[in-house]
Structure 1
Amino acid sequence: MSEHYDEHYINSVTALGDTHEVVVTQAIFTRNGIKLIDRGARINSAMREKLVRHKLIPAIDECLSVTDGVTNASLRDRAREILDNEPRFQFFRPSLPGTARLLNAFYAMPLNAPLAFKLTVARERRPEIFEHSVQMTLITLMLAIKSRLPERDLASVAAAGMFHDIGELHIDPALLRPGHPLDPDAMRHVYAHPMTAYLILQTYPAFHPEISTAVFEHHERLDGSGYPRGLKGEEIGRLGQILMLAEAVNALFEKSWHTHGAARLAVMLKMNRRKFDPELINHLVRLLNSGERAGPGGAGNVSSESVAAQLNQLAEVFRLWRHAHHTCPPGVAEEPLVTFVNQRLTDLERTLLETGFQPDELAAFTAGIENDSAALAEIQLMTSESRRQACDILKEVHRRWTALRDDSAGRAAVEYWVTRAQTLLQAD
């Protein structure tokens, strides 16, 4: 079977040509200098096999145009529709003097023809990425304004928001579907998308280094727990710090708004003060607490028994690691993966203590509030966020297995914990 190059993006591009007029504006060559498709040709699915068999010169986005493509004006119009019609964006309104600055940033952001084409591919073939990006950009701009960034910087902020996930256009869509299991190889592909986006953006002077670097950093965290480089604190640029908080906020908007309103977001913010800019965290928490939407949703469906069971499982995850770590010989306890797991779980325990929960006695917090549905709902949200963070540690462990030799005692200690923790965290 011949090797295929960038087949997932080529699939989207050629499928776009089946519904829109996609025209070659300059001839497409192979890297060996062989002309594949001449200027003026129409692109559609019939050309897929020819395109995926070769590395293309120039990059395909440089060679194509499309009718009814994305423009600054169309981005501004879509952003306005979201602000006017999406209830989950309404709680931001009290902190803003108006929406003109947000919308003007979409109109002013740099947008060259190749990147406009890429956004059109996203809008038409991967709408979940496009819609996520517009909403993410709105939140990023709101946070940037609250951070008192100069007006001249808002166009760059908008561009960073719109292009932060363009690397996902080059990943198999199946890997990004909710609930799709990811083995270590698939996880590497997903974790590479910030780098892919960076490499695309760095080829254009208007986007490099400020915008491209922020995009590269949008999954980093101030405490070093993010990816792809594990940057910490001031190693992450100001725009990158804003972008990574906006990404986390928007992800919870998309997953939890209809069931929990802003309540889960408030809990997530309180439990992640070390990961994001404290000033912005405090601003968002105050904003959430100022309105009725901060109250937990679905409180009537929470039972004290189910919350206590989940808390006991979480406490057992901590106990299992302490046992595994304490039985490690001194040299083994200092191995990279062992150190990573210990630091991440220690940070999570510290966060629980700071929010008033003793990790060894979590289930005790449901005693006496069996009939207080609001209190139970808040504890359940805290539990859900804690379990999510523990699951993130498990995912990162799988990605880092190569840091330890197969026969390493450190790997054995981590595997002991991983096997048991996965069972506990997957339990209903």
Structure 2
Amino acid sequence: MTDTLESAGPDAADSPHYLRALTDMADRRTVVAGAAIYNDMGVKLVEKGARIDSRLYDRLVQHKLREPIDRHLSIDNPVDVPALVAAASALAEQDALCALLADALGSTGRLLAPLRSLALPPSMACKLTVMREQRPQLFQHSLQMMAVAIYLGIKSGLGERDCSALAAAALLHDLGVLYMDPVWDDPGHKVVGPQRKHLAAHPISAMLMIRDMQAYPPSVAVAVLEHHERMDGSGYPRGLSGADITPLGRILLLAEVVAAFYEKYEDMPAQRLSLVLRLNHRKFPSALVSHILPLLREEVARDSALLPLGSDASQQIDLLAEAFAYWDQLKAALPGGQGGAAGPAAPRGTPTGAFAFADARLMALQKALIEAGSHPRHQGELIAQLQGDVLGMAEVGLVGREALWQLQSILNASHRRWPRLADRATPEDAALADWCEWVARKL
């Protein structure tokens, strides 16, 4: 890995948020130091055999520890392989997505078989125990993502050994979130601009922890690093594309999206997911998507009749049209800019850097909307034709919501990659900053 990646992740051993979660958990279950805990200067902070609890937090957080605190801890009722199998089996009985995957493979046993050979060293077991006790939603997300990843691995023809490595990568992919401020779990906490660099760092943090443990094949750490990449290069942290993303990384990036949709949406998750996968076919590996879409078809047909959507489609169309038109206006005003409506087929102008990045993303979004028959210039007539068609209007509404989400994604990515964009150092930066501020106000 590059020096940039090495420096981007926080020092896991000293994370105050993880220390707080661990010591708070120790107030409710027995956690004992299996070896003495030292700081990096060799000063003993905790005796071997001492009970860990929240009273130690203030002392521990003031020091840089010689090694991660969870390397030699003994925990009552930890997350181990049998506990993982039991938790995943229970989830397959209660969770619609996991049940769907197990049914598709013929049994829950086949879905969870790769867990039998899963490596789980003490420090990783400790982190997962903290996750289960202190961040239960994150733990459930990891289990769901693990189930999707194993399903995709099996359908792709991977052997049990590779599927076991894949299960480890999926299960541990969000370890970095344990080292972030829990405020990120608050739905009301809106993160914008440069703050998003902390979110972008969590795959790097998890990769470094997994790699340093040396308990897994190198492909596991790499896949964890790649779980937010996209096939078209629009992901993070490295903006990889296509063949530059490893096979396990491709599985994780799709599994992340599949699990996230079933967690986020109680209403019509299958239809929403199916639409996003089809509308964004350049972002996701088509061979893997082909294993997911057939699972969704029956649910799409059933759920679409239950919850009509699309009543706000006209407002969504108007907002999209305004966003595209404002971008064309800003682009035309630049030195060497293209006059008139840009549109996906228009020739590229001369701007470079941040503006060129956003321009390419907006052109790709418009092209995808045209291919889906859902570009704002087409949708007015389409809505008039669909009156009374519940399924059709539901899809129009979902397309609009996805397109607006992608506008927000372009805004976020622009600020993440160019944190000094608001300085407006060049005409192009000023134009992009103006567009981002407009989008932020409208959304």
TM band (smaller chain): over 0.9
Residues in 1 aligned to 2:148 and 2:217: alpha-carbon distance in whole angstroms: 22
1:416 and 2:424 aligned:
no
Q: Is the 8 A contact 2:14 2:63 kept in 1?
A: yes
Q: Is the 8 A contact 1:309 1:363 kept in 2?
A: no
User: Which residue identity lines up with residue 373 of structure 1 in the other structure?
Assistant: V
Q: Is the 8 A contact 2:228 2:237 kept in 1?
A: yes
CA offset at residue 330 of structure 1? 4.0
Residue in structure 1 matching 2:418, options 401, 416, 420: 401
183 and 203 in structure 1: CA distance in 2 versus 1, 3 angstrom threshold: same
Residues in 1 aligned to 2:413 and 2:429: alpha-carbon distance in whole angstroms: 14
CA offset at residue 291 of structure 1? 4.6
Q: Greater CA deviation, 47-56 or 96-105?
A: 96-105
Aligned residues: CA RMSD = 1.9
301 and 345 in structure 1: CA distance in 2 versus 1, 3 angstrom threshold: closer
**C-alpha deviations, 1:4-59, integer Å up to 9, x for none?**
94110000010011001111111111111111111111110100000111111121
Match of 1:377 in 2: 394
Tell me, what secondary structure is at the counterpart of 2:74? Answer: strand
Q: Is the 8 A contact 1:336 1:403 kept in 2?
A: no
Residues in 1 aligned to 2:103 and 2:297: alpha-carbon distance in whole angstroms: 12
Match of 2:70 in 1: 61
User: Which residue identity lines up with residue 103 of structure 1 in the other structure?
Assistant: L
1:143 and 2:160 aligned:
no
Residues in 1 aligned to 2:66 and 2:242: alpha-carbon distance in whole angstroms: 39
Q: Greater CA deviation, 112-121 or 59-68?
A: 59-68
CA offset at residue 403 of structure 1? 6.2
Match of 2:297 in 1: 289
Match of 2:166 in 1: 157
Match of 2:340 in 1: none
CA offset at residue 88 of structure 1? 3.3
Residue in structure 2 matching 1:366, options 379, 383, 392: 383
User: Which residue identity lines up with residue 335 of structure 2 in the other structure?
Assistant: P
Match of 1:314 in 2: 320
CA offset at residue 333 of structure 1? 4.1
Residues in 1 aligned to 2:414 and 2:379: alpha-carbon distance in whole angstroms: 25
Match of 1:389 in 2: 406
Residues in 1 aligned to 2:222 and 2:370: alpha-carbon distance in whole angstroms: 35
User: Which residue identity lines up with residue 416 of structure 1 in the other structure?
Assistant: D
Report the TM-score when normalising by structure 1.
Answer: 0.93
Residue in structure 2 matching 1:111, options 120, 134, 147: 120
Match of 1:39 in 2: 48
**C-alpha deviations, 1:136-159, integer Å up to 9, x for none?**
100111111111112221110110
CA offset at residue 293 of structure 1? 5.2
1:200 and 2:206 aligned:
no
Match of 1:77 in 2: 86
Q: Greater CA deviation, 405-414 or 338-347?
A: 405-414
Residue in structure 2 matching 1:12, options 18, 21, 27: 21
Q: Greater CA deviation, 283-292 or 236-245?
A: 283-292
Tell me, what secondary structure is at the counterpart of 2:267? Answer: helix
Gaps of 5+ in 2: 1-12, 338-348
Match of 1:239 in 2: 248
User: Which residue identity lines up with residue 232 of structure 1 in the other structure?
Assistant: S
Tell me, what secondary structure is at the counterpart of 2:32? Answer: strand
Report the TM-score when normalising by structure 2.
Answer: 0.90
Q: Is the 8 A contact 1:337 1:403 kept in 2?
A: no
Q: Is the 8 A contact 1:261 1:296 kept in 2?
A: no
Q: Is the 8 A contact 2:308 2:393 kept in 1?
A: no
Q: Is the 8 A contact 1:137 1:162 kept in 2?
A: yes
1:337 and 2:347 aligned:
no
Gaps of 5+ in 1: none
Q: Is the 8 A contact 1:201 1:208 kept in 2?
A: no
388 and 16 in structure 1: CA distance in 2 versus 1, 3 angstrom threshold: same
**C-alpha deviations, 1:377-401, integer Å up to 9, x for none?**
1111111111111111111122123
88 and 402 in structure 1: CA distance in 2 versus 1, 3 angstrom threshold: closer
Residues in 2 aligned to 1:297 and 1:215: alpha-carbon distance in whole angstroms: 38
CA offset at residue 233 of structure 1? 0.6
Equivalent residues, number: 419
CA offset at residue 295 of structure 1? 4.1
Residues in 2 aligned to 1:97 and 1:392: alpha-carbon distance in whole angstroms: 38
Residues in 1 aligned to 2:18 and 2:301: alpha-carbon distance in whole angstroms: 39
Match of 1:26 in 2: 35
94 and 356 in structure 1: CA distance in 2 versus 1, 3 angstrom threshold: farther
**C-alpha deviations, 1:287-311, integer Å up to 9, x for none?**
21245556426533643xx211111
Tell me, what secondary structure is at the counterpart of 1:299? Answer: coil
Q: Is the 8 A contact 1:263 1:294 kept in 2?
A: no
Residues in 2 aligned to 1:193 and 1:294: alpha-carbon distance in whole angstroms: 37
52 and 342 in structure 1: CA distance in 2 versus 1, 3 angstrom threshold: same
66 and 233 in structure 1: CA distance in 2 versus 1, 3 angstrom threshold: same
Q: Greater CA deviation, 327-336 or 283-292?
A: 327-336
Residues in 2 aligned to 1:133 and 1:165: alpha-carbon distance in whole angstroms: 7
Tell me, what secondary structure is at the counterpart of 1:36? Answer: strand
